[in-house]
A and B are shown apart, each in its own frame.
Chain A
């Protein structure tokens, strides 16, 4: 989430980040989303339709991930963690449900 050092950008604020200056973009990194990916996306859409989840909540909870998870998890794994965190926080489900 927020970086303790105001001069240092937050983890997700990647624009111009020198850490990736020498990392090539891989145009061939183009595999279609997996069944897992599509299902996470679809669950997210259902919850949005039902008024239980917004894009801002999605982003806030992805940006709150620790750097290790932010760069270590796949894209839709991060979405899943965000959706789950919001559902628990809102009391839609409980931690016991997903233990």
Chain B
């Protein structure tokens, strides 16, 4: 849920941090370092992984076999983070990622999850009526495409490898990465060639 924390929560955080410092558990630099690392994780990394997979069959095979290793190949520090699994869309199958029990998300790779991903409505409805949820994101799948909803867990995080859209033939990795948004990596939208931010 989005929103402003209660004053008592702000106070609690200050007291918690002060106590942890006083007792020698951590120093301010530890917090700053972890925050910098968290801010470094961005959807663009996942987008670049997808673009590489579209162009390089060997990387594609690695990404589907071992998403963690594929993320590490892009410089993501995965030590301590839950493993990454990658779900391959096809012309007949679309994946949608949710976490019904909490909000598990491949943070280490693509950063802080959006608020809607953590919302009760998304968590409750994605598994019950995925096509209705997709429609709220403006996504209508072609007839005949099956939807597979995948529930992330605390121990395993999922990301989608969407199908490469028509109209992107001959594009560079950079051009391809530019049409893969965070929402494509969760499966609520599809990459489209018209969204190109870099002229083809």
Give chain B nearest CB distance to A98 CB in angstroms: 4
CB-CB contacts below 8 Å: B102-144 with A: 102-103, 112, 114-116, 118-125, 127-128, 133, 136-138
- The interface-forming segment of B15-23, B46-54, B87-95, B191-199 is B15-23
Mark each residue of chain B from 172 to 189: 1 if its CB lies under 8 Å from any CB of chain A, else 0: 000000000001000010
B residues less than 8 Å from A32 (CB atoms)? 112
Are A49 and B19 touching (Cβ within 8 A)?
no
Mark each residue of chain B from 7 to 44: 1 if its CB lies under 8 Å from any CB of chain A, else 0: 00110110111111011011000111011011100000
Are B102 and A12 touching (Cβ within 8 A)?
yes
CB-CB contacts below 8 Å: A4-43 with B: 12-21, 23-27, 29-34, 36-43
B residues less than 8 Å from A16 (CB atoms)? 100, 124, 127-128
- Tally A-B pairs: CB < 8 A: 174
- Given A20-B125, A25-B121, A27-B136, the answer on whether A43 and B17 have CB atoms closer than 8 Å is yes
Q: Does B3 contact A (CB under 8 A)?
A: yes
Which of A's residues lie within 8 Å of B, judged by CB? 12-21, 23-27, 29-34, 36-43, 45-50, 52, 55-56, 59, 62, 71, 73-77, 80-81, 83-84, 87, 92-94, 97-98
Other A-B pairs beyond A43-B13, A46-B30, 15, CB < 8 Å: A12-B101, A15-B100, A17-B120, A17-B124, A18-B124, A19-B120, A20-B123, A21-B125, A27-B188, A29-B2, A30-B115, A45-B34, A46-B34, A59-B154, A73-B9
